[in-house]
Amino acid sequence: MRKVDSKSSRTLRRGPGGRVVAVVGLDSEEAMVDGGKTRRGGLAGVRNSGGGGHVPILARILAHNLFPYHHHLRTHDYTMSGQHQLPDLPYAYDALEPFISRQIMELHHKKHHQTYVTALNAAEQAYAKTSSPKERIALQAALKFNGGGHINHSLFWKNLAPSASEGKGNGGVLKDGPLKTAILETFGTFDQFKKEFNTVTAGIQGSGWGWLGVNPASKRLELATTANQDPLLSLVPVIGVDVWEHAFYLQYLNVKVDYLNAIWNVVNFDEAEKRYLEAIGGSKL
């Protein structure tokens, strides 16, 4: 019995050793996430670790492999130092009212998006600090989830704008031009495009994103959805709509379709057209 205990004890000692990949990875990530709330402390700790020097290259490689079609995002949005920053909104928190409330925008940006940024930084730093394949594999899910969350929300804020119908901005207006021509070619009418987008997007089970994107091979517009925070990899993103409950529940409760109908009043089609033109590489002009 003692022998078993002894063996068990050794096993136990080896056990944690064998599980170091998970434990160390999680502890280290949680510690960094917690540290991230006090931000400077967390980052200073990472700098002192001496592992930060590898981050830029790793981050670029990961970003290139994970997000090959996101050329239009500024490089420093998701690479460079590995210390991503929450981007400022290009409008005030209440600017999208009455279609998206100030409360939603403030929580969504300051809390939700910030959490993805903080956790992405932590995951990248943890990745850079280890050479263990198992630890690196264990970090892939965190990199994908939080990296996708950062990229998706960065796209989302910019493809929204204060509504023209409220006299506040250019939101909701699809002007004559290449994007409008492509939308009409693909969907028949502007209303039909919005209807099909909403139908496809409303069909997401659970959390996810609805997308209009450009097929990089055919250069045609297509609709797509991604689950959770998965970024859109098969198409070049043109318009992304967040259909996580945190994006609408405080205002629209469980009526997702009302949110999807309302959001078109604040879609920035000028930004969408810029992305579209970049995606087709001018070949249609």
Task: Give contact residues for Fe ion (rule: CB under 5 A).
Answer: 242, 244, 247
Nearest residue to 58 (alpha-carbon basis) of 82, 90, 28 = 82
Q: Where are the beta strands (DSSP E) in 110-247?
A: 208-214, 221-227, 236-242
Min dist CB 197 to Fe ion, Å, is 18
Min dist CB 244 to Fe ion, Å, is 5
Residue 246 identity = H
Of 126 and 263, CB closest to Fe ion: 263
**Pair 245, 206: CB distance under 8 Å:** no
Of 127 and 157, CB closest to Fe ion: 157
Min dist CB 70 to Fe ion, Å, is 17
Of 224 and 247, CB closest to Fe ion: 247
Give the CB-nearest residue to Fe ion.
242
Q: Can you spell out the DSSP letters for 99-121? A: TS-HHHHHHIIIIIIHHHHHHHH
Of 109 and 194, CB closest to Fe ion: 109
Min dist CB 61 to Fe ion, Å, is 26
Q: How many helices (H) and strands (E) does the chain have?
A: 13, 3
Collapse the DSSP code of 85 into the 3-class scheme (helix H, G, I; strand E, B; otherwise coil) and give the result. Answer: coil
Min dist CB 43 to Fe ion, Å, is 24
Nearest residue to 157 (alpha-carbon basis) of 204, 198, 96, 203 = 96
Min dist CB 247 to Fe ion, Å, is 5
Of 155 and 272, CB closest to Fe ion: 155
Distance CA 144, CA 86 (A): 17
Q: What's the order of all strands across the beta sheet hosting 208-214?
A: 221-227, 208-214, 236-242
Of 198 and 229, CB closest to Fe ion: 229
Min dist CB 246 to Fe ion, Å, is 5
Annotate 19-65 with three-state secondary structure.
CHHHHHHHHHHHHHHHHHHCCHHHHHHHHHHCCHHHHHHHHHHHHHH
Residue 51 identity = G
Of 79 and 229, CB closest to Fe ion: 229
**Pair 239, 271: CB distance under 8 Å:** no
